Amino acid sequence: MELDVVMRGRKPPGRKPVLVVKDLWVKNDLGVMDVKGISFEVYPGEIFGIAGVEGNGQDSLVEAITGLRRVERGKVIVNGVDVTNKSPIEFYRLGLSHIPGDRERYGLVLEFPVMENTVVGRQWEREFLSGWRLNWSKVKELALKIIEKFKVEPRSIYIPVKSLSGGNRQRLLVGRELSKKPNLIIAVHPTRGLDIASTMYIRELLAKMRDEGKAILLVSADLDEILQLSDRIAVIYEGKFLGVGRVDEFTREEIGLMMGGIKVRK
């Protein structure tokens, strides 16, 4: 029998999902429905990968999950809390880290120094406040830790982010997001445009976070990246999932067919 969605994934036993997306419908900037009834869950200690050719609703899906785009219908639940159409601040307070696909638009302030960029999204946390103002000594301490641990070059916290290479900008962004000690990480095209060394470094970090029990939603147009990192995958086409299952239950050929909009028979 031909199925619209091939449900082959199995829920990890004895664990509650960190992220639940239920029957999500989302419009794009043109007012066209870009996400059409998508549902899935992401559990602790797994990477759930979404594969697909860019422009098939991935951006709208992630923006809706992270509070950057309005949900028309459906629900987004993080750590048991309904955060549908809540602000990004609410997501961060629930332990979400977001590595956006467009790091210049959503992730970094290029004109600001490295130090200021390391505290973006955390500026309301008590750790970094002195009264109603930022505690710059604490921010400096955080910035120095990030550039050291994540090997950001050059190792200066005072230079503007625009002076960094693409790979080092991404290391800075990943370092900032992972330093939040999140329980849910949403990583979108995390290695796009990076050199081999930076690519391998970031993939190893994501795998390590997964092994430490973090729930990770990985969205990438790089099929090799999806297959290398994911425990379960979904294939998205024109705003719908055409297949969901464990990564070892799909052949590369099946994934390629679904990425092109062709349903598979199982």
pLDDT, tens digit, for every residue of 104-122? Answer: 888 899 999 999 999 887 7
- 130 contacts: CB under 8 Å, gap ≥ 6: none
Please write the tens of the pLDDT for every residue from 45-75.
Answer: 999 999 999 999 999 999 999 999 999 999 9
Query: What does the buried/exposed string (b/e) look like for 172-204 if buried means 16 or more CB atoms within 10 Å of the residue's CB?
Result: bbbbbbbbbebbbbbbbbbbbebeeebbebbbe
Residue with tokens 């619209």: 4
Query: Using an 8 Å Cβ cutoff, are 139 and 145 in contact?
Result: no
Pinpoint the residues of the chain covered by CATH 3.40.50.300: 1-95+183-266
Q: In this structure, is the dihedral angle defined by the CA atoms of residues 124, 128, 132 and 134, taken in order, positive or negative?
A: negative
Q: What is the pLDDT of residue 106?
A: 82
Token pair in block for residue 217: 């939603």
What is the DSSP annotation of 79-97?
A: TTEE-TT--HHHHHHTTEE
Supply the CATH classification number for the domain 1-95+183-266: 3.40.50.300
Listed in order, strand segments (DSSP E) in 70-172 are: 71-78, 81-82, 96-99, 129-130, 133-134
Query: Using an 8 Å Cβ cutoff, are 70 and 85 in contact?
Result: yes
Query: Using an 8 Å Cβ cutoff, are 75 and 22 in contact?
Result: yes
- 246 contacts: CB under 8 Å, gap ≥ 6: 8, 9, 10, 231, 232, 233
Query: Using an 8 Å Cβ cutoff, are 230 and 247 in contact?
Result: yes
Please write the tens of the pLDDT for every residue from 126-170.
Answer: 887 888 888 899 999 999 999 998 889 998 999 999 999 988 999
For the entire predicted model, the pTM comes to 0.88
- Of 126 and 87, the structure prediction assigns the larger pLDDT to 87
> Of 191, 230, 215, which Cα lies nearest the Cα of 99?
191
Query: Using an 8 Å Cβ cutoff, are 34 and 57 in contact?
Result: yes
